[in-house]
Structure 1
Amino acid sequence: MTLDLDALRPFPDAGDPDHRAHDAADRLLLDESADARRGLARHEIAVIGDTFGTLALACASDATDGVVRVHQDSLGGERTLTANARSTGLEASVESLPLDAEVVRGARVVLVRLPRSLEALRDVAGLIAAHAAPDVVVFAGGRIKHMSLGMNDVLRAHFDTVDVSHARQKSRVLIARGPHDGRDPEPSAARLRIGDTDVEVRAFGGVFAGATLDIGTRLLLENLPETIPGQAVDLACGNGVVGATLALRHPGLRVYASDESAAAVASARATAAANGIADRMTVVRDDALSTLPDASASFIALNPPFHRGAAIDETIARHLFADAARVLRPGGELWTVWNSALRYRPSLEKLVGPTRQIARTPKFTVTASTRR
């Protein structure tokens, strides 16, 4: 069957008919890989970084036998793929998998939406080179404004040849062949001193701040209360440094950490293990805190992301504030650090409750909001 790309919907679907589930880079990737995919079975094709499932579903519709294996870092992207697969009757033709050997094992064609992080691309390229078929062809594409020559260098570290497609509609594709020097992804590591606490941090490619401590999170950690009631929640946990620091400072404390990024969850789990606190720090992949019941927590710490891709998107923070409010007990507190220019205090007052400033620098503000 020929898939109508315009029938696929982005998630969340705001009802804007101009908001599509594909862009020029997706279309160029499909066109550049068409000859290589011709005659292949679905199980010989893998897709990594597919934003809304367009690439995987288009490949599945063009092939037969088995499933197209897919890895998407974002839980929202994974759920969108599921919804689009259901709407097109292709549920049995695609399978979502973690970023490990099984997603690319034996694959002869791999389509990749280029991540913005070179470390994330290094994880992907090494994994493909280690476990895909010897004759694999990798098509890695993106918008030119988000591409760099460093991406070519990363691919050349794991493939004999890297060719470059002609540009089309401000998009381009890198085509890699001849895999060598493959390796499974391994987290970077760093030992950090935060106040009087030593923390080992681990981070896989693409995780915000990597295995470091960004200045906003440092400001939050330097100003957290000395007493934490009950279980602590590390919302949008990233590399897990906030949750790990809390657990190390308070030896009896249990920490629940969540993030919608698969790489962040893997990183936070690795951070917990490195600090010997995996038995007290539960890390889950979740949309905010959807798996926690209402009024079940007394303390939540949050450094909310404010970008979706390259664009500033304040709806992400408001969604996290609202779900934190749902999970907090009356009188419970949400401690948040945010870029001062974003002026989140009115949203915190409205969605959570009375909000007081704890600390402020020229760039960042730390607040504590009390659940009404």
Structure 2
Amino acid sequence: MPEFPYSRLRRWPDVEADNLQAYDATDLLLVEWALALDVPGDEITVIGDEYGAITLALTDAGRPGIRVHQDLATGRRALARNAADLGLAGFVPHELDASLLAGARLVLVQLPKSLAELEQIADAVTRWAAPDVVLVAGGRVKHMTLGQNEVLGRRFAQVQAQRAERKSRLVVASEPRPAPADPPFPVTAQHDGLTLVAHGGAFAGPRLDIGTRVLLEVLGLAGAQFSKNSESGDGEGRDSAGAPGGSDRSGGVVHGGGAALDVIDLGCGTGALAAAYALAHPEARVIATDRSAAAVASARATAAANGLADRILVTHDDAGSELPDASADVVLLNPPFHLGTSIHTGAATRLFDAAARLLRPGGELFTVFNSSLGYRAELTRIVGATQQLHRTAKFTVTRSIRR
């Protein structure tokens, strides 16, 4: 059998760069482990296959019927594109639910960054897979922790780490323990009038991350608890002049003078920004969008928990690509600065490009980012005139006016 052409795989539509590739040694180890076992494709589940390397290599090796779950919309599109390019078919995409795992005897997992996401995956496997299921999880050694073994150990009686190869390592979990009556996710937390709901793979879980808190405060959407918990600073660089409708006494920005605005929470996570905006502006039409399926499920649950299910449309999309051009008056953005385990600003740049496309002329982009990243010049170049509304040692909030 000819060797699978891993080098032909692409990350597109995710960020592509010389130091970013569409497969790694962990993918190869997981494929090699699966091929050494006599498990048919329809009894194999793959979770976290970033760009399809595991699924497509096994399909190409004669294991049709593999079920696959990818959290990111970019990964799903890359898998479909890579499959078409290689002329491969026969695998079946699923969400993280019973249909993904029913009857599965071998589950291959690219270890996620968060222990909460791994816990939800492990719970799902023990809850829905075959009684004799074996879970094989892999990752780059430098990113692996004993905490991952502990999470698996709570769900499986046997957890064995394998010898490291090519700077990657596999962990084999077997003999699943009985699943608890209630799944551990989603989880819920209250934040001074705002309810957040989070699945395991959602960034920051049910907490309000510091950047979101700062942006809510500057926008005038934060209650007393938000303000008390947000990062302290002396207000250096705060400037709310020039916003439509001016600014309120607390420095929060007032939008549109009561007009019904079209608002997009771009990269919405658990939907904190979308929900807070919708609660403060009942007349607004709000869309929340994220490339993470876990985030989308969380944002929908957050909207429902706050009585906003009929007012916030939540979409699983890549940088709002399915939303119409020039359809928004306001975009809210707390961009990531990681691509998987790599620090890379390309993800933020893609979202700046998306905001520029989505905003109407004169529309506003409100962005919060780590002060060290210095995105102001890039925002001015991509979107339009950008001013600093607030700055602390850690976070900067800017407003960009679409040219």
Segments of 5+ residues of structure 1 without an aligned counterpart are none
Inter-partner Cα distance in structure 1 for 2:385 and 2:17:
35
**Mapped contact 1:127–1:185 kept (Cα < 8 A):** no
| Alignment map for 1:137-176 (pairs within 5 Å) | 137-176=134-173
Inter-partner Cα distance in structure 2 for 1:18 and 1:276:
44
Inter-partner Cα distance in structure 1 for 2:16 and 2:214:
39
Query: What is aligned with 1:57?
Result: 56
**Residue type matched to 2:397 in 1?**
V
1:227 aligns with 2:255: yes
**Residue type matched to 2:57 in 1?**
A
Query: What is aligned with 2:22?
Result: 21
Selected match of 2:373 from 331, 334, 342: 342
**Mapped contact 1:157–1:181 kept (Cα < 8 A):** no
Query: What is aligned with 1:7?
Result: 8
Selected match of 1:326 from 349, 352, 357: 357
Distance 1:214 1:17, change over 3 A: closer
**Residue type matched to 1:339 in 2?**
N
Query: What is aligned with 2:188?
Result: 189
**Mapped contact 1:47–1:55 kept (Cα < 8 A):** yes
- The Cα offsets for residues 219-271 of structure 1, whole Å up to 9 and x where unpaired, read as 10011123355121111000100000011112232210100011110110111
| Per-residue deviation, 1:12 | 4.5
| Per-residue deviation, 1:6 | 2.7
SS state at 2:60 partner: helix
| Per-residue deviation, 1:14 | 7.9
| Alignment map for 1:1-372 (pairs within 5 Å) | 2=2, 3-12=4-13, 20-36=21-37, 38=38, 40-65=39-64, 67-91=65-89, 93-182=90-179, 184=183, 186-193=185-192, 198-224=193-219, 225-228=253-256, 229=259, 230-372=261-403
What is the TM-score normalised by the length of structure 1?
Answer: 0.93
What is the TM-score normalised by the length of structure 2?
Answer: 0.86
Alignment root-mean-square deviation, CA: 1.8
Segments of 5+ residues of structure 2 without an aligned counterpart are 220-252
- The Cα offsets for residues 310-357 of structure 1, whole Å up to 9 and x where unpaired, read as 222112111111111111111110011111111100111111111111
| Per-residue deviation, 1:33 | 3.0
**Residue type matched to 2:367 in 1?**
T
| Per-residue deviation, 1:15 | 7.9
Comparing 251-260 with 279-288, greater Cα deviation is found at 251-260
**Mapped contact 2:113–2:341 kept (Cα < 8 A):** no
Distance 1:297 1:318, change over 3 A: same
Percent identical: 49
SS state at 2:36 partner: helix
**Mapped contact 2:329–2:360 kept (Cα < 8 A):** yes
SS state at 1:300 partner: strand
